[in-house]
Amino acid sequence: MTEARRYGVQPGNPDGVTPSQTVGPFFAYVLTPHEYGTREIFSKDIVTPDAVGHPIRIEGYVIDGDGEPIIDAMLEIWQADGDGRYAGAAPQHGANTAFKGFGRSDVDSNGFFAFRTVKPGQVPGPDGTTQAPHINVGVFARGLLKRLFTRIYFQGEPANATDPILALVPKERRHTLIAARRSRGDDTVYTFNIRLQGEDETVFFEA
């Protein structure tokens, strides 16, 4: 990921005769098949019994430039564990061998999504730097010829101030990458909305 990049979304067809999206999305039957009674290979709950890290919930909405929900989006996440280790990056023994750090979620009729995971640790960055805890996100939706890539950073994380990737983003745009933290009973919840265009459009990256 080297620089922030904006994408547009194709407008809907006002006649309602043909699909409003330029490409699909036709992924639901295979990639998010739970509504069709088929077992999912990857799900929105990626916490395993041996997962290292503090359990958290991430939730939010995928919306367009007018604030309307995108009801056919799909999100994929990829992250390190609480010790900053990516699955498969090195031989693992004992704790965390089952945690893969990859999840997939569709959205509901309100554009809402949620993941259950663990807060990742810091990972190495370019030129010997260290990156702040973050989660990589891929976004699929109507009108997108290619998926979009963004990141979720965490509110109140001191390492955000020195993260080399976040530093590439203009200061006035960085808030679109920061998930807001709150408590819900005993759960830690981070809210992260994804806006595909318009004012406060989420920052997307080349990948």
- pTM, to two decimals: 0.81
What's the 3-state SS for 67-84? Answer: CCECCCCEEEEECCCCCC
- Tell me how crowded residue 158 is: count the other CB atoms within 10 A of its CB: 7
- Which tens digits make up the pLDDT trace of 122-132? 999 999 999 99
Please say whether the beta carbons of 148 and 139 come within 8 A.
yes
Enumerate domains of the chain plus CATH numbers: 42-205 (2.60.130.10)
The answer to which of 108-112, 145-149, 173-177 has the lowest mean pLDDT is: 145-149
- Which tens digits make up the pLDDT trace of 133-164? 999 999 998 778 789 999 999 999 999 999 99
